[in-house]
Amino acid sequence: MKHVPLHVMLGVATVLAVVTALVDYTTLAELSGQADTWASIRKTLARTINSGSVWAGLGILAGYSAGPGRWLRGAALGAGVLLFTTTVHYAVGIAAGIVPATGWVSNSHWFLAAALFGAPLGLIGLAAHPHLLARLVLPLGMLAEPWVTRRFFGFYGTVPEQVSEIASGIILTLAGVLLAAMALRREYRRSHDSTL
């Protein structure tokens, strides 16, 4: 991937923002414990796509989409796309009644995180064009997150909470293994082709 048009990157960001906002909608049946299967599925999806790794991956993808050697554009896209996604996420959440109207203020730390970490994540994405280590940042983050956030340990309340913690940890781990294998395979092919 040399360069991805901005409208495509914003489309990906919008889909992530809308899905991550709407997947947090909790039904009365879930709250009363009458829909544990659905609650487990919904919470697994929510914990997976709302994970730090997935959001960081969006910043990395934004930087990567700038194309090789475009450092300023990569950093700007990393921060800009994460700020855009966070804005759409909370706008949809507020419009759907999932997030209170004061959600802009009470979640301001996520806007700050998008601004602070977006540019470095974008630069990691840009560095992924020539460097294997940069391509391994996201897979390693996905492998580490379930352990750092203790998804496989302890008791988290209800059965859906416990199931979703473990299931999302497994999904992130498998995604990390898959992405790492893809990055290593690409590097092997690149080095093998250069020796021919």
Binned at pLDDT 50, 70 and 90, residue 194 comes out as: low
Is 146 in contact with 172 (CB distance < 8 Å)?
yes
Mean pLDDT over the full length of the chain: 91
The pair of structure tokens assigned to 94 is 């507020």
pLDDT digits (tens, 9 = 90+) for 110-151: 999 999 999 999 999 999 999 999 999 999 999 999 999 988
pLDDT digits (tens, 9 = 90+) for 167-180: 999 999 999 999 99
Nearest to 26 by CA among 120, 83, 107, 98: 98
